[in-house]
Chains A and B, each alone.
Chain A
Amino acid sequence: MGRFPLYILLLWASSSVAQLVVLALLVPKGKFRKLPFFAAYVALDLCQAIFLVGVYSAPGLSDVTIKDLAWYSECVTLVAQALATTEILRVTLRPYQGIWGLVWRGLMFTSTLVLLLVAMATRGDWEKEKWFELNRGYHLIFAAAVITCLLLIRYYSIHVPAAYKMILAGFCFYSCTEILINTVLQAVLKKSFDAYQPIWQSSTMLSFIVVLFIWAAALWQPLPVEARPPAPPSDSIHQRLSPEINERLRELNENLLRLWKLEARPQ
């Protein structure tokens, strides 16, 4: 562990303590049962910290091996992060089956689109910076997909409980800051990843600590009661009304156009 400056170790310790606090807040009243994937994600993050302490302290491991092991462990937590986010969206949208169908399609579409953007924007020495690029690519796709879902939820005026909103906001904030930190450091320092590793570590850990505080505030209060479906199946209403409403709106638009084009005359 002597390879890290003291301030990095302090940040690491603070992050672990904050994760313990969040885990402790998930235990009472069975909150972890409502959000099992989120609880698992926080626990995995803590396990990753312990694993990394072991890896960095182990004698005889080369730098390349240590780096690879650290990134493999990061992959596990990133998968857990995606699952935890999907879980929260699923819980929020459970009463709105139609919108959930729309949201997961939106997720797939946005992810594919951003994946293409990431592939086009990826530059530099792939062998040296592959983990770094993959990490940034993941966060880009993740943040874009979640924000698309939140936009859809807002468009349909669906209420998201404050606690869930804060958890989702935390995930998105973390991903956005990761992208910014990675991009700025890559652009400003213009050296290999190793050259700015301490700055990268401290800034990402700081943003993660901020997110942990947000989550702690979200979990401080009781989680909302699971919403029941607001109405029995009203599929026929939508199927019948939706084309009709659109037809009326189109008619309204055409009237507006006619109003502008044909009927306008000076008085």
Chain B
Amino acid sequence: MSFPLLILFGFAVLLLILLGWVLRTPRVSAKTYSDSVFMDQSDRRNVTYFPQVRQALAVDDFAFLASRGSRSLVCRVRKERRRIALAYLESLRNDFLELWGLARVVASLSPKVSIAQEFERLRLGLTFAVRYETIRITFLLGFAPLPALGSLSEVVGRLAIRLETAMRDLGERSALAANLASSLDGRGLDTP
């Protein structure tokens, strides 16, 4: 098989794979995002737990333990607290993904979408994923970059507040539209 034909063949196989993937039912739909996830969890975002995580990873704590306890105890505590920090980082990522998804919902409900902004967000999402993995590995290797983790939490928190306001606004508009729709009859349409 010649090279151009090989490219065509590969492209067709890739398209078939993509078709199969794209037709799978997505885990979370736009409706689920706007109706339940955000509204239900907006009051308990993970960024609020930063002071506890900071305390858990404080260098002073380890110094104190090292002076009073055994080395094995320090190791055990450090391991345990690193696990907590990783769980916290994971929850920050979940917050980011949730907010990122909500930004997409805002875009999907808008009558005009800026392509540049959408591409920018896509790029940011990909960059975030790469950096998140890097930091996670850094944590796993025994590093604890606390000050930046604090500002990271702050950013997620601020974004959450802004989006919460926007989603509430959209929710009110959707409710208004639903009321208008329900006041009209559905003649000529067959219901599923």
Contacts and interface: CB of A to CB of B under 8 A. Distances in A.
A64 interface: no
Interface hub of A122, A147, A172, A233 (most chain B Cβ within 10 A): A147
Interface stretch (A67-75, A197-205, A255-263): A255-263
A252 interface: yes
Interface stretch (B38-46, B48-56, B117-125): B117-125
Nearest to A172: B19
B131 interface: yes
B107 A99 contact: yes
Given A225-B189, A259-B145, A165 B111 contact: no
A99 to B, nearest CB: 5
A235 interface: yes
Interface string A233-267: 11101110111111011111101111110111111
Interface string A22-66: 000000011000000000000000000000000000000000000
Interface in B100-130: 100-101, 103-115, 117-118, 120-121, 124-125, 127-128
A231 B19 contact: no
A151 B148 contact: no
Contacts, number: 254
A179 B12 contact: yes
A256 to B, nearest CB: 4
A26 to B, nearest CB: 13
B27 to A, nearest CB: 9
B148 A237 contact: no
B23 A252 contact: no
Interface string B1-32: 11011011101110110110011001011110
A154 B30 CA distance: 10
Contacts of A159: 29-31
A144 interface: yes
Given A98-B109, A242-B117, A267-B62, 11 more contacts: A97-B112, A143-B15, A154-B26, A157-B108, A158-B108, A234-B109, A241-B103, A243-B117, A256-B134, A259-B145, A267-B78
